[in-house]
Chains A and B, each alone.
Chain A
Amino acid sequence: MKVDNHSDEQLTSRVIDEAADWLARMHSKNLSDAEKNAWEQWLIQSAEHQRVWKNAKLLVDQFNRLEPKLGMSVLDRPRELASRRRFLRAVATSLFIPAATWFGVQYYQANQTNFYRTATGERREIILADRSVVVLNTATALNVNFDNLQRLLEHKTGEIFVRTAPDTHASSRPFLVETDNGRMRALGTEFVVRHSDTGTRLSVFEGAVEITTRHSQSRIIVESGQEVNFTARSIDAITPIQSGAGAWRNGVLYAQGMRLADFTKELARYRPGLLHCNPAVGELRVTGVFRLTDTDTVLRLLADTLPVTIDARTRYWVTINPRQEI
């Protein structure tokens, strides 16, 4: 907090104005190389420039991961309160706490838990209080809840990689990951949990993890090199880990003879909006290592190597169709 530091505030305000102008230009068209250089020069001027830009990226990410139609009709709804709001603003200006509003979720949970999430296409590594490492894959939400009795990760959605550290706490608390479908207890270990509507998948790379399902309370221990799907009521058969299961940690998608339909589903997780595969080409096979940071390039690559075309109605609505030979 630097309320008293007037010149700092002036700097921030100037940098925000400049960042806003850059953003407005970047969204209208692709920048020329000269403009790109100018922008890079602008960005490296100070830590403040980078701080402002980081927030700008955060903002754009927030928009990108909304479904366009849903976002439009909610955020662009008519505001009947607008005039009343302006009137009251005169009274309330000095008390407005925008930071608290923006960080509202985090604030209320800051007491003993932390809430983390990633945007579509984002990947983020966090180091927990006990030095365990968690990597969040695209579109993931996670509550971290440590107390005197346990180290608990409440995994709401998406995919995480966990490398646990031995607990330095006197009582050596258990390390637990919980989803709707049940609870996983780490027995000194590296593992990936992927959680979606259809169930939870656990892949263990090192050590072992014990699963207890939520409703049926069935238990099973999954060892290193093994993988299993489970729901609140049942556990599937244990299978060997598919090659490439944790490749996303390095920002790549690994495919070996993968059905195009499955490949599209995977890729769609890293891309805002809709990505569909026409069933007519769903059985084509894809092999390769693909960078997840640039899904547009991956799509172009598919069109180059398979008999398909990429039809983009908008950048948020893309379909992979059979190529029509003319």
Chain B
Amino acid sequence: MPPDAVSNQQFDAWYSTHNDWLQGWLRRRLGDHATAADLAHDTFLRVWVKSQSNKPPEVNEPRAYLTTIAKRLMINYYERQSLERAFMVTLEQLPEPLVPSIEEQVIVLETLHELDVLLAELPSRVRSAFLMSQLEGVTYEEIAARLHVNVRTVTRYMAQGFRQCLRLMLASD
């Protein structure tokens, strides 16, 4: 089969042919019916967004293409779950005046998720240094002492952190 750009018609055809199959594929991996249906929906949504871009992807093998996207979404889903768990655990430990209101919690969680995506690919030491500075306002000297590196390395970590976040924020799709 020759490679094809995804057209609107083709999108419809893919959806009716592969949706059930993709849901089954996800269900076997996640063990959860509702989540599988959600992620299958999100997968097709991404395919649709891609197909509307100036440069729609060329696809040889629809099912391989779909599962590649679905895998990425599955990882995001697990990361999101681990983020939400950490969030709930931390909320319980916070002294009462620091606990955000219910409305704020929704916004805080969304902010955390957005930042989490940006920071995900950083090496853990770089991420820790970056967060100490951005969240706690710790000086580079103190970060250097905590991580047992010199201040120049901390400056490098910081630049790396900013670079990574800005790249993802500004990436043209």
Contact B117 A102 (CB under 8 A): yes
Our pick among A91, A99, A105 for the contact of B173 (Cβ within 8 Å) is A99
**A96 cross-chain contacts in B, Cβ below 8 A:** 72
Q: Which residue of A lies closest to B123 (CB)?
A: A82
Bound-state CA distance A68–B135 (Å) is 5
Contact B111 A75 (CB under 8 A): no
Q: Which residue of B lies closest to A59 (CB)?
A: B165
* Interface-side segment among B7-15, B18-26, B29-37, B50-58: B50-58
User: Contacts A17-B163, A63-B115, A102-B169; is A71 near B50 (CB within 8 Å)?
Assistant: no
Contact A2 B112 (CB under 8 A): no
When each residue 1-14 of chain A gets 1 if its CB lies under 8 Å from chain B and 0 otherwise, what string results?
Answer: 11110000100110
Smallest CB–CB gap between A12 and chain B, Å? 6
CB of A36 within 8 A of chain B? no
Main secondary structure of the interface of A (DSSP, over half): helix
User: Contacts A66-B135, A72-B131; is A97 near B169 (CB within 8 Å)?
Assistant: no
**B168 cross-chain contacts in A, Cβ below 8 A:** 98, 102
Measured as residues with beta carbon below 8 angstroms from the partner, the interface class of chain B is 35 or more
- The A-B contact count (CB < 8 A) is 207
User: Contacts A79-B124, A95-B68; is A70 near B82 (CB within 8 Å)?
Assistant: no
CB of A20 within 8 A of chain B? yes
**B91 cross-chain contacts in A, Cβ below 8 A:** 70
When each residue 182-213 of chain A gets 1 if its CB lies under 8 Å from chain B and 0 otherwise, what string results?
Answer: 00000000000000110000000000000000
CB of A169 within 8 A of chain B? no
Our pick among A25, A80, A89, A97 for the contact of B50 (Cβ within 8 Å) is A97
Bound-state CA distance A9–B159 (Å) is 20
Our pick among B53, B90, B93, B133 for the contact of A1 (Cβ within 8 Å) is B53
Contact A55 B72 (CB under 8 A): no
Smallest CB–CB gap between B169 and chain A, Å? 5
When each residue 69-92 of chain A gets 1 if its CB lies under 8 Å from chain B and 0 otherwise, what string results?
Answer: 111111111111110110011011
CB of B114 within 8 A of chain A? yes
CB of A34 within 8 A of chain B? no
Contact B155 A25 (CB under 8 A): yes
Smallest CB–CB gap between B90 and chain A, Å? 5
CB of B96 within 8 A of chain A? no
When each residue 111-137 of chain B gets 1 if its CB lies under 8 Å from chain A and 0 otherwise, what string results?
Answer: 110111111110010011001111111
Contact A80 B131 (CB under 8 A): no
Interface residues of A in 155-180 (CB under 8 A from B): 156-157, 180
CB of B167 within 8 A of chain A? yes
CB of A24 within 8 A of chain B? yes
Q: Which residue of A lies closest to B98 (CB)?
A: A67
Spell out A's residues near B (CB within 8 Å): 1-4, 9, 12-13, 16-17, 19-21, 23-25, 27-28, 51-52, 55-56, 58-60, 62-82, 84-85, 88-89, 91-92, 94-102, 104-105, 117, 141, 156-157, 180, 196-197, 274, 314-316
Which 5 pairs, one residue from A and one from B, show the smallest C-beta to C-beta distance?
A24-B158, A20-B162, A20-B163, A24-B159, A63-B134
16 A–B pairs (Cβ distance < 8 Å), ordered by A:
A13-B167, A24-B162, A27-B133, A66-B112, A66-B135, A69-B94, A70-B87, A74-B83, A74-B116, A75-B135, A94-B57, A96-B72, A102-B118, A197-B101, A197-B103, A314-B136
